[in-house]
């Protein structure tokens, strides 16, 4: 059939499994002419091993398998692993959360910290004044330090 | 006893239940392994490894899926491992043979046992094609079921099966027509 020849040609020139699978599904599996060029189940079955004595094979296999699983603690180990894993995971989460908390708190405390920088509160504490007098009269005082500077300004103002 | 009951019993540690699983699946598993590996000793080794692996990993089996497919998937992987090992061993033997005794003429008729015609035909197929063909012809699997065992798409499984059937047909027509008669 000319259509089958075209499909055969398209199958041969594009070596993509997706494309070939598409051609098989859409044409070859439905076309009696193409199916005749493939081995049938019966033909394939004659080439394959089918009749294995199940009982004899089962017994001989079981002897080996039983010996292996009797001396191998593999499944018990993996069972124990499964039982232990959830607490480990829970502790893991707790440790990770605590670590993140410490990082966050450290960041909040340290974000404004720069070496050599003195905060306004510290300056006020250092220059705490009991009383300021201007011209013999009590006065108001304001301590001021510009940001990033070592200079300290004390502003005194007469009480009016 | 129901298969799921046998699995549940095995998970609880019943050796008897697991023995019944082994006996139930040993014949089809052995047939598949012999078709893929084409050697009884290797097939027995692969099946033994299969059931040990099944026992160890039974808790990871998903009851929503086919147990048979799960078993065949493990067996297919074991068979591929055996084929790799065999290829490596053959490479080594060839290399050693070439280096030590290059002058000795090879006589395949004496050193190797004669292979049967089906074995020769199946050797022309790749392991994936043999697996697909065996599952299709012996188990009646379709492309989707074959793809679950081979861990590939249904489209790819369809291609493997198609190529296997095409090669077999061609070889049968070329010189092994006598096999068709039994």
pTM of the model: 0.66
Interface of A with B (CB under 8 A): 17-18, 20-22, 24-25, 28-29, 37-39, 41, 43-55, 57-62, 64-66, 68-69, 72, 74-75, 78-79, 82
How far is Cα B116 from Cα B164, in angstroms, rounded to an integer? 19
Take residue B101 and report the two structure tokens written for it: 């005794």
Listing DSSP states for B73-123 in one string gives HHHHHHHHHHHHHHHHHHHHHHHHHHHH-TTSPP-HHHHSPPPPHHHHHHH
pLDDT digits (tens, 9 = 90+) for A77-121: 454 444 344 555 667 888 888 999 999 988 887 776 655 555 556
The SS3 of residue A131 is coil
Q: Answer whether residue A146 shows pLDDT above 80.
A: no
How far is Cα A4 from Cα B98, in angstroms, rounded to an integer? 48
How far is Cα A22 from Cα A16, in angstroms, rounded to an integer? 10
Q: Is B118's CB within 8 Å of A46's CB?
A: yes
Contact A31, A8 (CB under 8 A): no
User: Distance, in angstroms, between A73 CA and closest chain B CA?
Assistant: 9
What is residue A80's predicted lDDT score, i.e. its pLDDT? Answer: 42
What is residue A57's predicted lDDT score, i.e. its pLDDT? Answer: 74
For residue A155, the cross-strand partners are A142
N-to-C CA span, chain B: 37
Which carries the bigger pLDDT value, residue B14 or residue A153? B14
What is residue A88's predicted lDDT score, i.e. its pLDDT? Answer: 58
Our measurement of the distance from residue B72's CA atom to the centroid of its chain's CA atoms, rounded to an integer in Å, reads 9
Which carries the bigger pLDDT value, residue B53 or residue A117? B53
Q: Is A28's CB within 8 Å of B162's CB?
A: yes
Question: Which range among A117-126, B74-83, B100-109, B139-148 shows the weakest confidence by mean pLDDT?
Answer: B100-109
The sign of the dihedral angle between the CA atoms of A115, A116, A120, A125 is: positive
What is residue A55's predicted lDDT score, i.e. its pLDDT? Answer: 63
Domain boundaries, chain A: 2-47, 55-109, 120-158
Calculate the alpha carbon distances from A59 to A6, A19, B60, B78 in Å.
53, 46, 26, 20
The sign of the dihedral angle between the CA atoms of B94, B96, B101, B107 is: negative
Nearest CA in chain B to A11: B159
Element (H, E) at A153: strand A153-158
Q: Answer whether residue A74 shows pLDDT above 60.
A: no
How far is Cα B112 from Cα B124, in angstroms, rounded to an integer? 18
What is residue A81's predicted lDDT score, i.e. its pLDDT? Answer: 40
> Which are the contacts of A135, defined by CB distance < 8 A and separation ≥ 6?
A158
Which carries the bigger pLDDT value, residue A85 or residue B123? B123
What is residue B175's predicted lDDT score, i.e. its pLDDT? Answer: 67
Q: Answer whether residue B106 shows pLDDT above 70.
A: no
Q: Answer whether residue A47 shows pLDDT above 90.
A: no
How large is the average pLDDT for residues B85-109? 68
Q: Is A21's CB within 8 Å of B156's CB?
A: yes
User: Distance, in angstroms, between B133 CA and closest chain A CA?
Assistant: 7
* Average pLDDT across chain B, whole number: 84
Take residue A144 and report the two structure tokens written for it: 């001021």
* Share of chain A residues as helix, strand and coil, in percent rounded to the nearest 5: 60, 10, 30
User: Distance, in angstroms, between A8 CA and closest chain B CA?
Assistant: 12
- Domains (range + CATH), chain B: 1-102 (1.10.1740.10), 115-176 (1.10.10.10)
Nearest CA in chain A to B119: A47
Contact A124, A143 (CB under 8 A): yes
User: Distance, in angstroms, between A85 CA and closest chain B CA?
Assistant: 15
How far is Cα A61 from Cα B33, in angstroms, rounded to an integer? 13
Of B169, B65, B81, residue with least CA distance to B125: B169
What is residue A70's predicted lDDT score, i.e. its pLDDT? Answer: 81
What is residue B7's predicted lDDT score, i.e. its pLDDT? Answer: 92
pLDDT digits (tens, 9 = 90+) for B14-23: 889 999 999 8
* Average pLDDT across chain A, whole number: 77
Q: What is the Cα gyration radius of chain A?
A: 44
What is residue B21's predicted lDDT score, i.e. its pLDDT? Answer: 92
What is residue B52's predicted lDDT score, i.e. its pLDDT? Answer: 93
What is residue A49's predicted lDDT score, i.e. its pLDDT? Answer: 85
ipTM: 0.74
What is residue B131's predicted lDDT score, i.e. its pLDDT? Answer: 95
Instruction: Give chain B's length.
Output: 182
Q: Is A65's CB within 8 Å of B48's CB?
A: yes
pLDDT digits (tens, 9 = 90+) for B78-91: 999 999 998 888 88
């Amino acid at each position: 059939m000319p259509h089958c020849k075209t499909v055969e040609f398209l199958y041969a020139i594009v070596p993509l499994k997706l494309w070939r699978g598409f051609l098989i599904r859409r044409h070859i599996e439905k076309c009696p002419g193409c199916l005749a060029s493939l081995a049938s189940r019966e033909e394939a079955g004659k080439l394959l091993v089918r009749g294995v004595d199940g009982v004899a094979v089962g017994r001989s296999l079981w002897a080996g398998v039983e010996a292996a699983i009797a001396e191998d603690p593999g499944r018990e180990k993996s069972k124990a692993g499964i039982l232990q894993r959830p607490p480990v995971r829970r502790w893991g989460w707790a440790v990770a959360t605590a670590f993140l908390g410490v990082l966050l708190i450290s960041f909040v405390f340290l974000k404004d910290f720069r070496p050599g920088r003195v905060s306004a509160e510290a300056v006020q504490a250092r220059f705490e004044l009991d009383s300021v007098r201007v011209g013999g009269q009590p006065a108001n005082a304001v301590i001021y330090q510009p940001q990033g500077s070592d200079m300290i300004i004390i502003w005194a103002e007469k009480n009016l | 006893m129901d298969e799921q009951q046998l699995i549940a019993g095995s998970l609880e540690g019943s050796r008897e239940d697991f023995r019944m699983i082994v006996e139930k699946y040993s014949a089809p598993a052995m047939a598949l392994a012999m078709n893929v590996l084409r050697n009884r000793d290797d097939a027995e080794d692969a099946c033994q490894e299969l059931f040990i692996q099944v026992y160890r990993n039974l808790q990871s089996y998903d009851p929503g899926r086919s147990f048979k497919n799960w078993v065949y998937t493990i067996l297919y992987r074991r068979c591929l491992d055996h084929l790799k090992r065999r290829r490596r061993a053959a490479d080594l033997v060839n290399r050693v043979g070439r280096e030590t005794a290059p002058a000795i003429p090879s006589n395949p008729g004496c050193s190797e046992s004669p292979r049967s015609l089906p074995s020769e035909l199946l050797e022309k197929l790749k392991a994936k094609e043999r697996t697909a063909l065996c599952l299709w012809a012996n188990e009646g699997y379709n492309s989707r079921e074959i793809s679950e065992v081979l861990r590939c798409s249904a489209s790819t499984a369809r291609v493997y099966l198609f190529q296997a059937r095409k090669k077999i047909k061609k070889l049968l027509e070329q010189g092994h027509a006598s096999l068709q008669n039994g």
